[in-house]
Chains A and B, each alone.
Chain A
Amino acid sequence: MNTVRVLVGTRKGAFVLTSDAKRARWNISGPYFGGWEIYHLKGSPADPQRLYASQSSGWFGQQIQRSNDGGQTWEPVGNKFVYDGVPGTHQWYDGTPHPWEFKRVWHLEPSLTDPDTIYAGVEDAALFHSTDGGQTWQEFPELRGAQGHLWQPGAGGMCLHTVVLDPSHPERIFIAISAAGTFRTDDAGKTWRPMNRGLRSEGIPNPHAEVGHCVHRIAMHPSRPHVLFMQKHWDVMRSSNAGESWHEVSGNLPTDFGFPIEVHAHEPDTIYVVPITSDSEHYPPEGKLRVYRSRTGGNEWEALTQGLPQRDCYVNVLRDAMAVDALDPCGLYFGTTGGQVYGSADAGDSWAPIVRDLPPVLSVEVQTLP
């Protein structure tokens, strides 16, 4: 029988939630790395027992932890993230040049095929990778050459928060940066191009600029890697040509501001978002926590509310805090800044809290184990 392992990163440690395929009863272990911020942890698709975690602290900086036994034990590996050469400057909030400074790892993306290869998206925005299980890290400096001097931090910092690997094209990687936009390499990181045509952002001098868009998250279904979905600062977007151009699919959403976006494990046109009131009101509209689902790849959305609080709810769901399992029916999970992790074992039709009182949740990932 399959089991499901949900990996939860929080402001004060990591937690591992496990269940059988019914997804009705959960075992909760943790906190691991108690007191540290765990921005993200994720398992290797090539070896599900190999996990990586980004552990950071305002006092003691960045650590990368690695587990070879599914999270029961961990060991610190390399934490030296040094930009290649002289990184120069990007734009600061006030428009002045500001030197690139490493702050933390936001996102870890293990290779689809090699447990020892892993990508790390960092703040200030850059992409690093390791081919020795996280012991040493090298930057892809050419990414910063894609008009990096014009990139500017969003409210959460200038972070590279999304890394999407193309299963049909091993040298193709999509990344997203707040607030620079989406970029793609087709040659394993040697060259990069901005992929922001069709995005419109009111908060920048040229709403259609090639870079400068505050992309919050992008998602892909592995069976259809040329189709991408994006939750932008405002607007839910879709690309049908591997990011060459985007068009809006916000449709009837109550607000198109939000952070995460996810794709159903078995239905490439079924997508999920969590609408948030506005960029200055990071909580659900009307105090009702609603996941919205589109079965048509966008534009037509339905509210999923059963089991979710429908009054007095003012939590947020951060960009890396929603994920799906691979069971049938597909399971869906998300964590909130209020410390709840909700799960649905029926593709979002109904929900129940798995755990209610964790520290603010920064990330949620799911592993479906044989």
Chain B
Amino acid sequence: MIRVVLPTHLRTLARIDGEVQLDVEGPATLRAVLDALEACYPMLRGTIRDHVTQRRRAFVRFFACAQDLSHVSPEALLPDAVAIGTEPLLIVGAMAGG
């Protein structure tokens, strides 16, 4: 079970209270987690990564275990603590503008 914390506006959009818990098949990569998240909540497609290129939107960041994972490959394995659900993956709206 992988835990994901979404920013407030995306929780509102997807009508989610609190954390999301996802079953991810196969290796726990960022791509796999986002695929699982979007499968459960289709309205989040296009809000975190581009519909077509699948690249992270510029003002979205990925944090976990006090690390910034925003620039690691989507195919890289997430930290073990995230993969086993001890720590959540934080999807964050970057601090920018109003």
| A and B held together in a complex | yes
**What residues of chain A have their CB less than 8 Å away from a CB belonging to chain B?**
35-36, 57-63, 76, 79-80, 82
Give chain B nearest CB distance to A280 CB in angstroms.
Answer: 23
Q: Given A80-B51, A82-B52, decide whether A61 and B46 contact each other with a Cβ distance below 8 A.
A: yes
Q: Is the pair B51, A59 in contact by a Cβ cutoff of 8 Å?
A: no
Interface of B is mostly: loop
Contact mask for chain B residues 27-63; partner A; CB cutoff 8 A; 1 contact, 0 none: 0000000000000000101111001100001011000
Give chain B nearest CB distance to A305 CB in angstroms.
Answer: 33
Q: Which residues of B contact A58 (CB under 8 A)?
A: 59, 96-97
Measured in the bound complex, the distance between the Cα atoms of B52 and A80 in whole Å is: 9
Q: Given A36-B9, A76-B43, decide whether A60 and B51 contact each other with a Cβ distance below 8 A.
A: no
The chain B residue with its CB closest to the CB of A34 is B12
Task: Give the size category of B's interface with A.
Answer: 10 to 19
**What residues of chain B have their CB less than 8 Å away from a CB belonging to chain A?**
7, 9-10, 13, 43, 45-48, 51-52, 57, 59-60, 93-94, 96-97
Q: Which residues of B contact A82 (CB under 8 A)?
A: 51-52
Q: Given A35-B9, A57-B9, decide whether A80 and B96 contact each other with a Cβ distance below 8 A.
A: no
Q: Is the pair B13, A63 in contact by a Cβ cutoff of 8 Å?
A: yes
The chain B residue with its CB closest to the CB of A60 is B47
Give chain A nearest CB distance to B89 CB in angstroms.
Answer: 17
Q: Which residues of B contact A62 (CB under 8 A)?
A: 46
Give chain A nearest CB distance to B12 CB in angstroms.
Answer: 8
Partner of A60, one of B10, B96, B97: B10
The chain B residue with its CB closest to the CB of A83 is B52
Q: Which residues of B contact A59 (CB under 8 A)?
A: 7, 9, 57, 59-60, 93-94, 96
The chain A residue with its CB closest to the CB of B51 is A80
Give chain A nearest CB distance to B45 CB in angstroms.
Answer: 7
Q: Which residues of A contact B10 (CB under 8 A)?
A: 60
Q: Which residues of B contact A80 (CB under 8 A)?
A: 45-46, 51
Q: Given A80-B51, A82-B51, A82-B52, decide whether A60 and B45 contact each other with a Cβ distance below 8 A.
A: no
Q: Which residues of B contact A76 (CB under 8 A)?
A: 13, 43
Taking A59-B7, A79-B45, A80-B51 as given, write out 17 further A-B residue pairs in contact, using a Cβ cutoff of 8 Å, ordered by the A residue number. Answer: A35-B9, A36-B9, A59-B57, A59-B60, A59-B93, A59-B94, A60-B9, A60-B10, A60-B13, A60-B48, A60-B57, A61-B57, A63-B47, A79-B43, A79-B51, A80-B46, A82-B52
